[in-house]
Amino acid sequence: MRAADKGDISYSDFVTRLVRAQWQAKQEGALEWRIRRANLPERWTLETFPFARQPGVNRKQIRGFAELEFIAKAENIVLVGKTELATFCTPRHIIENTIPTLIHFLVHETSV
């Protein structure tokens, strides 16, 4: 608010930033609630996933999935079998990793 008062940013920019921050906080709270409700046995991220215990899992390919490269290429992802990787690629993982990335892009990379 002081920045807006000093003229560093306009009041409309200030309100836009405030609304975005509130929206993002609400989304993050809702995300955390959904993740807790999933009750999965492990809470893995790309950094904590035990790739060493899954030698058949291609780390580079999984990172490509997380970066959504398959969307730009108009490709599909098909998971077969029940492994730790299947748990890793559940809606919870998608919510935990992909949605925040999209929200970050929408909040920080686009203008209102």
Of 16-25, 38-47, 69-78, 80-89, the poorest mean pLDDT is in 80-89
- The more confidently predicted of residues 83 and 21 is 21
Task: Please give the pLDDT value at position 25.
Answer: 94
At residue 3, does pLDDT exceed 70?
Answer: no
Tell me the chain's radius of gyration from C-alpha atoms: 19
Cβ atoms within 10 Å of 65's Cβ, excluding its own? 21
Q: Which helix (H) or strand (E) holds 68?
A: none
49 pLDDT above the threshold of 70 = yes
Cα–Cα–Cα angle for 98, 52, 47, rounded to 5 degrees: 30
DSSP state of 97: I
3-state secondary structure of 59: helix
Residue 79 has pLDDT above 60, yes or no: yes
- Could you tell me the pTM of the whole model? 0.43
